[in-house]
Amino acid sequence: MINFKSLLRFRPKLNPAQGMLIAIVIISVWAISLTFLMSIDISNIKFLMLSPIILWQTFLYTGLFITAHDAMHGIVFPQNPKINHFMGSLCLFLYGLLPYQKLLKKHWLHHHNPASEIDPDFHDGKHKSFLAWYFYFMMRYWSWSQIITLMIIYNTIVYSFHIPRNNLTYFWVIPSLLSSLQLFYFGTFLPHTEPIDGYNEPHRAQTINRPIWWSFITCYHFGYHEEHHQYPHAAWWQLPDIYKQYRNPK
């Protein structure tokens, strides 16, 4: 049971440099990992042996999007909005050529109208199952121009830089697609599916509590979703502490 008096007393504090430092680390590790994986010979390695590496790269892709998400909330570099939004734009560009300003507007529309008819992340009342809702969700954020551009980039890299197709497919294409499933499942489907006893107003979001390490691995603590909606300007790594303050007030 949430203690709202304790909640109102709680104010998450953010180190001014911490958001930028964590963003740079995530981008750098993603870039170094991807560059290395493009250079290794996997012709004699079975797909199952590559699975842990694919999951690792998926985790890093998810980190790119979570960093962009925090930029939308002004968390990456709060001292300078231009730099903050540039970092968000860069992360979404690296993630999959996603338009930052478009997602920024839609994301705040989601926060102001969660699980409603005008929430761009919510289903239409018909596509409620996981896969149906996922494809309905993706159709709102992807365009044919993005897909065609990515296909052009894919083939340009293959023919101009002689990167093996398997490397690109296993470590670039598949992780980005798996990441979208991960983000949707843990960041939209689970927290915003209507509970049997109805939504908890006003945020219409629920928290899926997990051990701290598992919460981080699954989706950078995004399972603490009620806390995120309550404190949209808290960074992703602060959400577990907010949850503890919710449930264990002093």
Q: Which two tokens stand for residue 228?
A: 């995120």
Model confidence over 33-49: pLDDT tens digits? 999 999 999 988 988 89
Provide the residue-wise pLDDT of the chain in tens; the chain has 250 residues.
Answer: 344 344 444 556 777 789 999 999 999 999 999 999 999 999 889 888 999 999 999 999 999 999 999 999 999 999 999 999 999 999 999 999 999 999 999 999 999 999 999 999 999 888 899 999 999 999 999 889 999 999 999 999 999 999 999 999 999 999 999 999 999 999 999 999 988 888 888 889 999 889 999 999 999 999 999 999 999 999 999 999 999 887 655 4
Model confidence over 5-27: pLDDT tens digits? 444 445 567 777 899 999 999 99
The string over 139-162, giving b where at least 16 C-beta atoms fall within 10 Å of a residue's C-beta and e elsewhere, is: eebeeeeeeeebeeebeebeeeee
| CB-facing half-sphere around the CA of 224: CA atoms within 13 A | 27
Model confidence over 46-75: pLDDT tens digits? 888 999 999 999 999 999 999 999 999 999
Contact 12, 231 (CB under 8 A): yes
Q: Which of 111, 69, 108, 120 is nearest to 92 (CA)?
A: 69
- 49 Rama sector, left if φ>0, alpha if ψ -120 to 50, beta otherwise: alpha
Domain boundaries, the chain: 16-195
Q: Which of 168, 169, 246, 170 is nearest to 205 (CA)?
A: 246
pTM: 0.90
Check residue 185 and report its DSSP letter. I
